[in-house]
Amino acid sequence: MAGHDQRGPSGEPLQLRVNGRQVEVADASASLLGVLRDELGERAPKDGCSPQGQCGCCTVLVDGQPRVACVTPVRRVRGREITTPDHLDDATTWAEALCATGGSQCGFCTPGIVTRLSALRVKDADADHAKVEQALLAHLCRCTGWRTILDAWDAYGAEHPARDLDAAAARATLEGHVPQRLEPEVALGRAGFADDTAPAASVVAVLDPEGRWTLGESVAAARANAAKVQGRHTTADSEPPIPVPDGDWALTLQTSWVEPAYLETDASWCEPGGEPASAAGNGGAFGAKTDSPVPQAARRLADEHGTTVRALYSREDTVRFGAKRPPLSAGVRADGSGVVHVARTAGIAEAVASVAPGLEVVEVDVPGPPTSTSVRGAGWVEAAVLVAGATGVDDDGWVGPVTQPGGGSARARIGEDGTIHVEADAGDPLDEVALRSYCVGAAHQGASWVTSESLTIDADGQVHDLTIRSFGVLRAVDTPPIQIELGPGDGPAVPVSDAVFAAVAAAVWVHQGRPPVWPTGIPLRT
């Protein structure tokens, strides 16, 4: 393991103030984020893009102005005042507002968002939603669908009704399929993410360009030792990888490769002989981390080197090696029968048949990243969309209802102004704020998937879109209003957000005239 010289040419340490205290740090061309997290133990700023300056998770205040710390060399903030999200004067007020509106779920992106909104409120306390959405252009949030964050802007400083946060966590756990917390402190990044809980003296392991684990004394050192290659966004167009099956079809559909786009990249740590920390974090990454190899890598490396090891995927690694929903192409007749050609994936035929037994499934080999049916609704959601596309809308414009396996049901329609309307029945809501938040987030993800998300992957299976901004996730300014009406609450609590995801995807597709290729490139909000 190579050493890492943290001093600059002068060899003199740097002086700066962090959260009101004077600190001395080594002068390296290290990033401000690296110094905050690895030298000073400030774990509220997060590393979501490794470092691309694109996700906003690492946003801090520098002399009162928001700045992304991952691409800010620490030498540029010599002698300046740095404030991390959890030390803002109004941090608690923001945390309570986000919790009260469901504006934070996993809690990975919200520390940076809190910092941005806090600075905006100082500058313009009466900013309208359009100005807030513009401020949020510096951020990516996958969980909440943005609308609940706008609700938090409105709820700032208000008195919030009492809630049963244990019931809220139970609802979140139902929807995310892993244990999850929803207390106010989660919005400030205190959700127990694996890389935040690693012992300070841990050795860091990252992947080199050949996929081999390389060690270093810090994240910056490990990346330097691994000769990490920075991500890129290709100018080449994304193309659906599977041709449409031959046949006389009433409708056809080709889907593209898409990135689950969870913000907390895979991370784990392990002591020699111990159990590795879960990579699932505080939300489960829409199922995409179910089979993450990172925890087992941390265990193996810890045992091999006889020391505690933090194993980390970079953003580029999650795109290259993280599980994707299998792309497919389909031809469907007016009666809902047809043929689906789909990337070979364990359990995919059964997933499709669970919703649409009239669809014949043919698995084909497609070069590209790994695929998994663990990713949110993979297979059955596409089948539900195809059936809904063949069926069309009812007299009032609703698509559905769609019932998710073992869960609740939802239907959706798109208003003339692009507003997404959802009716969802999840049985006992347990906590309506949490349930509504998960439905809004699922609606955003469904609309985004159909209209704008794709990855460019070449004929050899190599991914060419490796930056956060290249995934096509709908930004706040692109996301229309989302209206959720919850069912009567009869019966036991069951998950419903995947049904919302499916119903909204189907409704958007039908509303746009059932274009044969996703993403359609047709905006919902103009």
pLDDT at 392: 87
Average pLDDT over residues 380-386: 97
Q: pLDDT value at position 7?
A: 43
Same domain, yes or no: 407 and 465: yes
Mean pLDDT of 298-317: 98
Give pLDDT, residue 6.
Answer: 39
Residue 319 placed within a domain: no
Same domain, 115 and 176: yes
CA angle 53, 55, 56 (to 5 degrees): 80
Residue 478 has pLDDT above 50, yes or no: yes
18-30 pLDDT tens trace? 999 999 998 666 8
Share of the chain above pLDDT 90, in %: 92
Mean pLDDT, rounded, for 42-49: 97
Pick the last residue of a domain from 87, 116, 141. 87
Same domain, 507 and 392: yes
Q: Are residues 185 and 197 in the same domain?
A: no
Regarding whether 498 and 380 lie in a shared domain, the answer is yes
Whether 161 and 207 share a structural domain: no
Range of the domain at 134: 91-192
Same domain membership, residue 463 and residue 336: yes
The last residue of a domain, from among 166, 192, 218: 192
Going by their DSSP bridges, the two strands 359-364 and 338-343 should be labelled as: parallel
**Are 160 and 135 members of one domain?**
yes
- CATH number for the domain harbouring residue 32: 3.10.20.30
Looking at residue 236, what is its pLDDT? 85
Q: Report helix, strand or coil for 410.
A: strand
Q: Check residue 28 and give its pLDDT.
A: 67
335 inside domain? yes
- DSSP helix, strand, coil percent of the chain (3-state; round to 5): 35, 15, 50
The predicted pLDDT at position 293 comes to: 97
Q: What is the mean pLDDT of residues 85-96?
A: 98
Is 519 inside a domain boundary?
A: no
Report which secondary-structure segment, H or E, holds 224: helix 219-226
pTM for this structure?
0.95
Coil, helix or strand at residue 403: strand
Q: Is the pLDDT of residue 32 over 50?
A: yes
Q: Is 516 within the bounds of a domain?
A: no
CATH number at residue 492: 3.30.365
- For residue 447, is it within any domain? yes
The pair of structure tokens assigned to 356 is 């649409």
Q: Is residue 5 included in any domain, yes or no?
A: no
- Nearest Cα residue to 260 out of 519, 449, 522, 495: 449
Question: How many Cβ atoms sit within 10 Å of the Cβ of residue 42?
Answer: 21
Residues 476 and 494 placed together within one structural domain of the fold: yes
pLDDT tier, 232 (very low <50, low <70, confident <90, very high otherwise)? confident
Confidence of residue 195 (pLDDT cuts 50, 70, 90): very high
Same domain (yes/no): 30, 55: yes
Buried residues in 193-227 as b, exposed as e (16+ CB within 10 A): bbbbebeeebbbbbbeeeeebbbbbbbbbbbebbe
The mean predicted confidence, pLDDT, of the chain is: 94
Mean pLDDT of 414-420: 95
pLDDT category at 86 given cuts 50, 70, 90 is: very high
Q: Are residues 344 and 407 in the same domain?
A: yes
Give the residue-averaged pLDDT of 60-78.
Answer: 96
Last residue of a domain, one of 192, 209, 240: 192
487 and 466: one domain?
yes
Sorting pLDDT into bands at 50, 70 and 90, what band is 496?
very high
Q: How many domains does the chain have?
A: 4
Question: Residue 460 to residues 143, 241, 327, 464, 471: CA-CA distances in angstroms?
Answer: 32, 11, 16, 11, 20
Tens-place pLDDT, residues 135-171:
999 999 999 999 999 999 999 999 999 999 999 999 9
11: confidence class by pLDDT, cuts 50, 70, 90: low
Residue 320 included in any domain = no
- Per-residue pLDDT, averaged over 104-119, amounts to 97
CATH number at residue 101: 1.10.150.120
In a domain, 251, yes or no: no
